[in-house]
A and B are shown apart, each in its own frame.
Chain A
């Protein structure tokens, strides 16, 4: 079954919409377009386009971001529209890109740098951890770092080494950084627009395996229930167990929930969205109701963010929990080659086994 996960996922879930880009779905009132169907790549591109238009101090830069539009085309057309001063290519050096961001922020800009792939954030760790994360603190709040670092993240695209890393726990551990990851085009559009207008550094982790999946984007409204843009979001309500996930794992968990429903198991899927700060209240609210939780992430198990999530749930729901919080994650191994990545990334079977362990747990 594991061999077919990627294929089955790309043909199901929330991607059933018409494959034509920018199809506008008019709302029942027939007034303004309510939603537009677009890929996550298009949603991110549109968000950046609007950020550049709305904030003259916003600048986008990195390797191949300018003329090429980025290797994933997230910045496609932005240089032509906003000029080579606003969207520009840098030399190939990640520490340089991030160090330069600090100086631009000091000069009053809102830098939106790109690190081309997750694994290439490692050469910039010194600037991210020692400088970006601390400058507001070091300067006693006089030098804010409104830097939105876009990082194409996670695995699933059969890429070379260092192109499939999950760095959220590493970034979340650093005081002074905020971390967010969108799970679908709608979230990508809104979370990027939100992140790129914040006065603090935000690591924006884009699930690269979802770039080309389409979904409905309501550009006018982020959360229909008026939820906070800094909080988690219930993507599917359920009564028996909460699946907590982020990034590309959210769509997979929604698939799992559909399969489990066939067996009468009613699963709630919580998209954490913000990996720092984590919405502890949303976790508590969901698990108080379901009394069971499984955390799913691509990153390795040990000291992964699943441990933090499990602790937050235990703290708030210890008395009501029916079983220890389970973690279904990648393994404590270097991210494997494409041939083995389906064995590494949590697949539907492994998530179902995790659910089963929780449901069958007996005290004592």
Chain B
């Protein structure tokens, strides 16, 4: 794999400790179990829809693990459940977006350091640049981590963001999860020039194309990228090569655009299984640990599901009250009409 990212001296932390490796595994199991459960929730009618991230656990947990939530800020798309979980976001509040409770999710983005869930492909990449430039203006050392995919890399906003960030030397880590598919369109019909990472050279920005299914490689690369950006060296791009093993969403039917054989070939070895084999080989974890991690993941999922099922609709007044900080007479009049004519009051 390409290693265009210079290793800033003294920047990357040392090798991962056994505790860190075990924690990465626990996180990946929790994410895997919640992710596959969410599909079941949808089939059971608990939630109307979901965008699974099956196969991207290493890319999400590994990168999210590098975030320092006391000073950094993360800009997700709609498929970063694993990042949110790794950052310690309240998962009932996060998953509420899939319950159709509130578009951005019910979690507090300022306190969580995770911007609201973003449905516009590439919509938040420029926000990361603005936030990061704010760090420069405030003489702070926070780094913005922005996620997008191979599909989003076609959007003009991504190119504007890379150019702005590079011109302004903004501390941004552009984290591309190249999962091979933008709904039904494969990467080879999406990304010209071989890779998204190759484009960084045009902006004078270091980039690294990594094995996105190797959680250790992802974490180490992301830590290097953070160190680079935090030291005032400007933005960095990481392209984590992974595979969307599931459908685009619970409404999608991959059978219409790819065969099961193609899926098997493209997906390679399961990232969770890869870490498991590594931990076993290195004597860092045993079957008892894996069983314990799975039991914890199941308990966690049950707790989240109970929370989601208990979640009622937001009061309709919020439709009106949350549009502005300073409301308008027209909006107040519409809210009054709604109250008067609504049966839900």
Q: Which residue of chain A has its CB nearest to the CB of B137?
A: A85
Given contacts A100-B126, A106-B73, A109-B134, contact A135 B322 (CB under 8 A): no
Interface 9-residue window, one of B52-60, B102-110, B266-274:
B102-110
Q: Is A140 an interface residue (CB 8 A)?
A: yes
Q: Is the CB of A106 within 8 A of B115?
A: yes
Cβ contact within 8 Å between A136 and B137: no
Query: At the interface, yes or no: A159 with Cβ under 8 Å from chain B?
Result: no
Q: How many residues of B contact A (CB 8 A)?
A: 45
Are B103 and A138 touching (Cβ within 8 A)?
yes
CB <8 Å contact, B129 and A103:
yes
In the complex, how many residues of chain A place their beta carbon closer than 8 angstroms to a beta carbon of chain B?
45
Which among A100, A101, A175, A281 is the interface contact of B323 at CB below 8 angstroms?
A175
Interface centre among A137, A176, A278 (most CB of B within 10 A): A137
Of listed A90, A103, A111, A130, residue having the most chain B CB within 10 A: A103
Instruction: Tell me whether B323 and A136 are in contact (CB under 8 A).
Output: yes
Q: Does B329 contact A (CB under 8 A)?
A: yes
Residues of B within 8 A of A59 (CB): 137
- Given A85-B137, A142-B108, answer yes or no on A103-B103 (Cβ-Cβ < 8 Å): no
| Interface contact A126-B137, CB-CB below 8 Å | no
Question: Which of A103, A109, A143, A280 has a CB less than 8 Å from the CB of B110?
Answer: A143
Of A99, A103, A278, which is within 8 A of B157 by CB?
A: A99
Closest-CB distance, B316 to chain A (whole angstroms): 14
Q: Bound complex: CA of A91 vs CA of B157, how far in Å?
A: 13
Contacts of A130 in B (CB 8 A): 120, 123
Q: For the complex, what is the distance from the CA of A360 to the CA of B296, rounded to whole Å? A: 81
A38 to B134, CA, bound (A): 34
**A143 to B131, Cβ gap below 8 A?**
no
Flag the segment in B159-167, B230-238, B337-345 that touches A.
Answer: B159-167
Q: Are A136 and B322 in contact (CB under 8 A)?
A: yes
Which residues of A, 123-147, contact B by the 8 Å Cβ criterion? 126-127, 130-131, 135-144
- A91 & B167 in contact (Cβ 8 Å cutoff): yes
Q: A residues within 8 A CB of B157? A: 95-96, 99, 126-127
> Which of A99, A104, A105, A175 is close to B160, meaning CB atoms less than 8 Å apart?
A99
A95 CB to nearest chain B CB (Å):
6
A102 beta carbon closer than 8 Å to chain B: yes
Contact B109 A142 (CB under 8 A): yes
Chain A, residue nearest B160 (CB) = A96
Q: Which residue of A has the minimal Cβ distance to B128?
A: A103
Residues of A within 8 A of B164 (CB): 90-91, 93, 96, 100
- A199 interface contact, C-beta 8 A: yes
Chain A residues near B126 (CB-CB < 8 A): 95-96, 98-100, 102-103, 127
Give complex CA distance A261, B225 in Å: 71
Say whether A91 contacts B160, CB under 8 Å: yes
A334 beta carbon closer than 8 Å to chain B: no
Within the complex, the shortest CB–CB distance from A110 to chain B, in Å, comes to: 11
Q: A99-B129, A104-B130, A104-B134 are in contact. Are A277 and B325 (CB under 8 A)?
A: no
A103 to B323, CA, bound (A): 18
- Closest partner residue, chain A, to B129 (CB atom): A100
Give, as a whole number of angstroms, the nearest-CB distance from A174 to chain B.
Answer: 11
Residue B116 lies at the interface, judged by CB distance under 8 Å to chain A: yes
Question: Do the beta carbons of A107 and B130 come within 8 Å of each other?
Answer: yes
Contact of B129 with A136 in the complex, beta carbons under 8 Å: no
Q: Which residues of A contact B328 (CB under 8 A)?
A: 178, 276-277
Tell me, yes or no, whether A165 is within 8 Å of chain B by CB: no
B324/A200 in contact, CB under 8 A: yes
Q: Is B330 in the interface zone, CB < 8 Å from A? A: yes
- Distance between B78 CB and nearest chain A CB, rounded to angstroms: 12
Query: Does A221 sit within 8 A of B, measured CB to CB?
Result: no
Asked if residues B110 and A142 are in contact (CB atoms below 8 Å), the reply is yes
Decide yes or no whether A173 CB sits under 8 A from chain B: no
Identify A199's interface contact among B73, B318, B326, CB under 8 A. B326
Residues of A within 8 A of B128 (CB): 103
- Asked if B133 and A144 sit within 8 Å, CB to CB, the answer is no
B127 touches A103 (CB 8 A): yes
Residues in chain A near residue B133, CB distance under 8 A: 100, 103-104
Chain B residues with CB under 8 A of A104: 130-131, 133-134
B87-120 interface code vs A (CB 8 A; 1 in, 0 out) = 0000000000000001110101110000110001
| Beta-carbon contact of B127 and A99 below 8 Å | yes
- A210 to B272, alpha carbons, bound, how many Å? 65
Q: Does B38 lie at the interface of the complex (its beta carbon under 8 Å from any beta carbon of A)?
A: no
Residues of A within 8 A of B323 (CB): 136-137, 175-176
Q: Is B134 a contact of A176 with CB atoms below 8 Å? A: no
State the Cβ distance, B235 to closest chain A Cβ, in Å: 13
B156 close to chain A: CB less than 8 A: yes
B127 touching A102, Cβ below 8 Å: yes
The verdict on B282 contacting chain A, using a C-beta distance below 8 Å, is no
Counting CB contacts under 8 A, is B138 at the interface?
Answer: yes
Contact with A along B69-95 (1 / 0, CB 8 A): 000010000000000000000000000
Query: Which 6 pairs between the two chains have the least Cβ-Cβ distance?
Result: A103-B130, A99-B126, A107-B134, A138-B104, A96-B160, A103-B131
Please list the residues of chain B having a beta carbon within 8 angstroms of any beta carbon in chain A. Answer: 73, 102-104, 106, 108-110, 115-116, 120, 123-135, 137-138, 144, 156-157, 160-161, 163-164, 167, 318, 321-326, 328-331
A104-B134, A109-B134 known, 10 other contacts, Cβ within 8 Å: A90-B164, A103-B131, A104-B130, A106-B130, A107-B130, A109-B137, A131-B123, A136-B325, A140-B106, A277-B331
Instruction: Name 26 interchain pairs, CB-CB below 8 A, sorted by A.
Output: A96-B164, A99-B130, A99-B157, A100-B133, A102-B127, A103-B127, A103-B132, A103-B134, A104-B130, A106-B73, A106-B134, A107-B138, A108-B138, A131-B120, A136-B324, A138-B103, A139-B104, A140-B322, A142-B108, A142-B109, A143-B109, A178-B324, A199-B326, A276-B328, A277-B329, A278-B330
